[in-house]
Structure 1
Amino acid sequence: MRKINDIPAAPVYSNTIVYVGQAINQALVNQLQDEGYNCLQYTDAFKAYVYLLAEVYANAPLPYAILCQEDLKEEEAYTFIANLARCHRLRTVPSILLLDKNEGANKRKAKLAGADDFYTGPVSHEDLLERLEFLHATRDERLEQTDAQQDFPHLRISLGKRLFDILFSGILLILLSPILLVIALAIRLESPGPIFYISKRVGTGYRIFNFYKFRSMRPDADKELEKVIHLNQYQSQNGGLAFVKIDNDPRVTRLGRFLRNSSLDELPQLFNVLLGDMSIVGNRPLPLYEAEKITRDLWSKRFLAPAGITGLWQVTKRGRKEMSTEERIELDMQYADECSLWYDFKIMAQTVPALLQKESV
């Protein structure tokens, strides 16, 4: 599995400038494009971050620069810049914050977030490009300085844990292969559509991968989410939603309900474990629409732990209807702090009793 902290010896850059903001300076964009740069514009910082990580994992050329306006809600601009530093390859890309006001507090926050530079007020594209050229020329010196000043978190996946995941998932796939074939045949006979449900998930270190489950819903279920979202089990104290689990979801097929209640729909995730996308034990990998709600520095620590099939919240609070988003995130962050192979064994020992426990709905 490629680690998010891997950095190539010689980064290659494209002529792309990623520009994130609510009210993007279109005149500046036009001037940059007239100079031969391709400007990708995003009003959503998380979607921009997902794009950048996807480019990193595809070994694509890095953008020439990343511009971010301060006008994103809830100081998300500073969080976006700080999250760029979690990936060493993205740290080689000059990042510039465009501040709304020339205030000392904002400048200090920009520096603390890790921005390579910041501008206030109108921005001249000539000055901006001259500054970017300088930042590229001094890249190695700049990175040495930031490495000395910051202690970047490392992803919590040990060699012992990875070896255990490979051995355990491989043995289970061999032993359970007859059951997997029977389930696949039953799904195909019950309803039209694919046997597997494949979705993009955000796992360890914000890594995006294809997540496999046996299909338990009608083929068009994703398009009907808005119709049933009012039944969501997880409610945030601040009124927002991070996790989605629908009570008595009408989109679930009859066979799918059995697969879910018995957790047999999760078995294809053993392939994710074997491929290195996930571990047997860890924090659940999240769909993009859930992960984009968890970008605050306080909560993003959950993504430093391995993504897993089973985890702490599943064995301690499985089926609690009153469980809040905040409670589940707290458990995820607790696992990120305490995860170890021995801790995983304790969670695995509690997984089977938790699966047999009836949910309180």
Structure 2
Amino acid sequence: MEFQNINHNTYTTESSVLKVIYYAEGFKEELESSFENGLYSVKEFNSIKTLTEETQSFSINDLNNNLLIEISPENTNEVFQIVENLKNHWLTRNIIIILLLTESNQAITRRALKLGVSDCYNPPIPFSDVKERLRFLSFYKQLRAEKKDLYPIEIEEYKIPSGKRMLDLLLSSIALISLSPLFLLVAILIKLDSKGPVFYTSKRVGTGYKIFDFYKFRSMKKDADKEVEKLSKNNQYQGGDAAFFKIKDDPRVTKLGNFLRNSSIDELPQLLNVLKGDMSLVGNRPLPLYEAEKLTTNEWSMRFLAPAGLTGLWQISRRGKKDMSERERKKLDNFYASNYSIWLDLKIIFKTIPALLQKEKV
């Protein structure tokens, strides 16, 4: 496959064609089938050597390239040499690089991220997630470039402050140990109440459009996600292009699920997400893919530059109120992204407790 002619003068997340060059032996078939639509211009390299030669000849006209590189124990040194050469050169240091690991290896992942690789994926690799991540990274790179033209300051990507991370680890660990008897009781009740798994796992988009597995106690009947389109006319956030989806008296919710949702007990497994580092205790709620893809405009994408959180401004100030608009929720997310601090986090944590019992069934 060869590059197409692309006009880079305009940028829209939905329609722009992204240049992707890749080396992948084990993932070649999956990668090609995932990027076969017209949104991507793809070029394949059959060996690390040819990819190295290509990257060494990059010029200013190649800075829109995005690299996907398969890395295995056999080619680790060659791949890292490519990464180091690109990241150590002022011209190519901002090129997006995603590594596809043939086997999980924390040492490789740590080294890659330290060198400035945009992301690393361990097998089995969900290429639909890779595509979403790649489009956001490309959009954010474009946004950073536009901001630098307006403001002569360095724009840093979000990195969780050490104090905030320590607070997350401490409180989530204590909470998980203390609540373990409740977890066991709820698991038993869910199995008795309806057919299906105890936990509900879905893909969510968090900080920097990072996609991760999001955990909840199951409060809906099995395969409830398949009914979203049918129920969209009852969405609390009105409008065909509404970014968020939530309905009152959701018919998909089980009898026990109503109690779990109204008491917010269904959210407790996300303490595992906090412990893993996918989320923070306080932040903007991570969104399902179908919601997140509607929030990549310049006005609203700022929410993804803040930590994803178990609780946040939305939960303590507007949740469950009939007069809450989609725009108000977006503005709360953007406000937190611009103003979060350890003191604001503590204030939100203390205000979350009385906000847990909500009146509206949403």
Q: Does residue 57 of the first structure (1) align with residue 90 of the second (2)?
A: no
Structure of greater relative contact order (alpha carbons < 8 Å, 6+ residues apart): 1
Shift of 1:190: 1.4
For this pair of structures, how many residues does the alignment match? 258
What is the one-letter code of the residue matched to 2:193?
A: E
Q: Does residue 200 of the first structure (1) align with residue 200 of the second (2)?
A: no
1:83 corresponds to? 140
Shift of 1:42: 4.1
SS of equivalent to 1:229? helix
1:166 corresponds to? 169
Query: TM-score, structure 1 length as denominator?
Result: 0.63
CA RMSD in angstroms, aligned pairs only: 3.6
Shift of 1:360: 8.2
What is the one-letter code of the residue matched to 1:283?
A: N
Q: 1:339 to 1:321 in 2, by over 3 A?
A: same
2:334 corresponds to? 333
The aligned runs of 1:280-291 (5 Å cut-off) are 280-291=281-292
Q: 1:224 to 1:188 in 2, by over 3 A?
A: same
Shift of 1:154: 2.5
CA contact (8 A) 1:200 1:208 kept: yes
CA contact (8 A) 1:198 1:210 kept: yes
CA distance in 1, matches of 2:137, 2:250: 35
The aligned runs of 1:68-107 (5 Å cut-off) are 81-84=138-141
CA distance in 2, matches of 1:16, 1:205: 30
What is the one-letter code of the residue matched to 1:197?
A: Y
Shift of 1:82: 3.8
Query: TM-score, structure 2 length as denominator?
Result: 0.63
Shift of 1:192: 1.5
CA distance in 1, matches of 2:300, 2:174: 35
1:345 corresponds to? 346
Percent of residue pairs bearing the same amino acid type: 52
What is the one-letter code of the residue matched to 1:57?
A: D
Q: 1:257 to 1:207 in 2, by over 3 A?
A: same
Shift of 1:83: 2.0
Shift of 1:223: 1.1
Gaps of 5+ in 1: 1-14, 25-36, 61-77, 88-110, 115-145
Q: Deviations over 1:22-78 (max 9, x none)?
A: 698xxxxxxxxxxxx969344569xxx9x9879653358xxxxxxxxxxxxxxxxx9
Q: Deviations over 1:221-280 (max 9, x none)?
A: 1111112111111225xx511011111110110011110000000000000000000011
Q: Does residue 234 of the first structure (1) align with residue 291 of the second (2)?
A: no
CA contact (8 A) 1:231 1:246 kept: yes
Shift of 1:17: 6.4
Q: Does residue 244 of the first structure (1) align with residue 245 of the second (2)?
A: yes
CA contact (8 A) 2:262 2:358 kept: no
Q: Greater share of helix residues, 1 or 2?
A: 1
CA distance in 2, matches of 1:219, 1:152: 44
CA distance in 2, matches of 1:218, 1:17: 46
Shift of 1:151: 2.7
Q: 1:23 to 1:330 in 2, by over 3 A?
A: closer
Q: Does residue 270 of the first structure (1) align with residue 271 of the second (2)?
A: yes
Shift of 1:319: 0.8
2:60 corresponds to? none
